[in-house]
Amino acid sequence: MAFVSSGYNPDKPMGDRITDIGPRHFEEFYPPVIKNNKGKWLYHEILEPGVYVHVSETGDEVYTVRVGGCRLMSVEHIREICEIADKHCGGYLRFTTRNNIEFMVDSKDKVKPLVDDLMSRKQDGGCYKFPVGGTGAGITNIIHTQGWIHCHTPATDASGPVKATMDVLFDDFRNMRLPAHLRVSLACCLNMCGAVHCSDIAILGYHRKPPMLDHEYLDKMCEIPLAISACPTAAIKPTKVKLDDGTEVKSVAVKNERCMFCGNCYTMCPSMPLADDVGDGIVIMAGGKVSNRISAPKFSKVVVAFLPNEAPRWPSTTSCIQKIVEAYANGARKYERLGEWAERIGWERFFEKCELEFTHHLIDDFRDPAYYTWRQTSNFKF
């Protein structure tokens, strides 16, 4: 491995430097049928799961084939995506906001060869490389985060639980039998990178033990006031600590009974790690949405306070999700999102239908707004 220069000269770092050029212009990448019909689309239809047609006022049509993407992918895989796009789509493709891949063709006769090609490609272990689906009233890709593959604050993995969950929900990726589309997302800690706070079903990594304090290093590594102000419940205060060798150092003290394990102090201060093999696990949330269709956007609500991390396939998590999906599929009306269904029948009935235990953890106790989540009415169901 010999170092190969790109032309960058470390002795003159600012020489020949190009900055602030931003992204490439989107029009460079539009397929001709998109470029010619932009802003002229009249209507669309889903011809089969994973296949759209959009019809333009010019009479042009574009057929889109959507396939599941892992999000985490190798350049070998991207090259294969390119090979498919070169073969079928004139060298154009796109990715969706949920990290699926879309191949577009400009006539109907090109659809079947493309779909057949995509569905025929399998990985060594038998997984589909490019499963076609993710449209309409089904379950599409899971928005997710880094987990143990790259992040330092997670309480669970991302890619693993997502693979395990999508395997379980795969039939609904390939079908459109639900009352409305159902969005699943995952975040590996409650920073909630992504969409956990606004999804129909959300998987959230959670800690259950207060941070450990690395007193010897804390003042050297951290801005103590930032660690203190990082705490939403004011559980952290500055203190002085005597080390075993007698030296006194500045550090922090954590009032354990006020800590709810959010991990934000660790984000700010490397000397407050809190990850734990048995303490950490998963919270399940449900009932969020971002669209304004019929009802306003909703936050997802906590419906399961803890499920253990069970690498590599997280069976408790996937079976819990399956139960919620089935109860929703059986109970909700056409067009009704999961959150709309839960609110219509009442959350007390949601827990009954989904066979979920209601525990004290699910009652909000965070500051003034908590009161508004309790029930100030005698309208409830037995």
Partner 1 sequence: MAKHETPMLDQLETGPWPSFVTDIKRQAEARAKNEKGIDYQIPVDVCEDLLGVLELSYKHGRTHWKHGGIVGVFGYGGGVIGRYCDQPEQFPGVAHFHTMRVSQPAGKFYTTEYLKGLCDLWDFRGSGITNMHGSTGDIIFLGTTTPQLEEIFHELTHTFNQDLGGSGSNLRTPSDCIGAARCEFACYDTQAICHDLTNEYQDELHRPAFPYKFKFKFDGCPNCCVASIARSDLSFIGLWRDEIRVDEEAVAAYVGGEIVPNGGAHAGRDWGAFDIQKEVVDLCPTECMKYENGKLAINNKECNHCMHCINVMPRALRPGNDKGCAILAGAKAPILDGAQMGSLIVPFIKVEAPYTEIKETVIEPIWDWWMEEGKNRERLGELMKRQGLQKLLEATGFKPDARMVQEPRTNPYIFWKEDEVEGGWERDVNEFRKHHQR
Residues 94-123 that bind partner 1 (CB under 8 A): 94-97, 99, 101, 104, 123
Which residues ranging from 248 to 277 are in contact with partner 1 (CB under 8 A)? 262, 264, 266, 270, 273, 275-277
Which residues ranging from 362 to 381 are in contact with partner 1 (CB under 8 A)? 366-367, 369
Distance of closest approach, residue 278 Cβ to partner 1, in angstroms: 7
Which residues ranging from 161 to 180 are in contact with partner 1 (CB under 8 A)? 163-164, 166-167, 170, 173, 175-179
Residue 7 is a binding residue for partner 1 (CB under 8 A): yes
Residue 212 is a binding residue for partner 1 (CB under 8 A): no
Draw the binding track, 65-94, toward partner 1 (x: CB under 8 A; -: no contact).
---xxxxxxxxxxxx-xxx-xx----xxxx
Residue 54 is a binding residue for partner 1 (CB under 8 A): yes
Which residues ranging from 336 to 365 are in contact with partner 1 (CB under 8 A)? none
* Tokens 């919620």 found at: 324
CA–CA distance, 244 with 216 (Å, rounded to integer): 10
Question: What is the token pair recorded at 290?
Answer: 């971002």
Distance of closest approach, residue 380 Cβ to partner 1, in angstroms: 23
Stretch that binds partner 1, among 61-69, 109-117, 320-328, 342-350 (CB under 8 A): 61-69
CA–CA distance, 212 with 11 (Å, rounded to integer): 43
Distance of closest approach, residue 338 Cβ to partner 1, in angstroms: 15
Is the CB of 32 or the CB of 113 nearer to partner 1? 32
Stretch that binds partner 1, among 110-118, 133-141, 245-253, 344-352 (CB under 8 A): 133-141
| CA 380 to each of CA 28, 301, 349, 354, 362: distance values in angstroms, whole numbers, following the listed order | 57, 18, 9, 18, 17
Distance of closest approach, residue 247 Cβ to partner 1, in angstroms: 23
Distance of closest approach, residue 327 Cβ to partner 1, in angstroms: 16
Going by the DSSP 8-state scheme, the letter that residue 15 receives in this structure is T
CB 156 within 8 A of CB 188: yes
Provide the sign of the torsion angle of the four alpha carbons 293, 63, 123, 170, taken in this order.
positive
Q: What are phi and psi of 144, to 5 degrees?
A: -150, -175
Strand partners, 237: 253
CB 300 within 8 A of CB 288: yes
Which residues ranging from 283 to 322 are in contact with partner 1 (CB under 8 A)? 288, 290-295, 297, 299, 309, 311-313
Residue 210 is a binding residue for partner 1 (CB under 8 A): no
Number of residues that bind partner 1 (CB under 8 A): 148
3-state secondary structure string across 286-345: ECCECCCCCCCCECCEEEEEEEECCCCCCHHHHHHHHHHHHHHHHHCCCCCCHHHHHHHH
Is the CB of 149 or the CB of 363 nearer to partner 1? 149
Element (H, E) at 37: helix 32-37
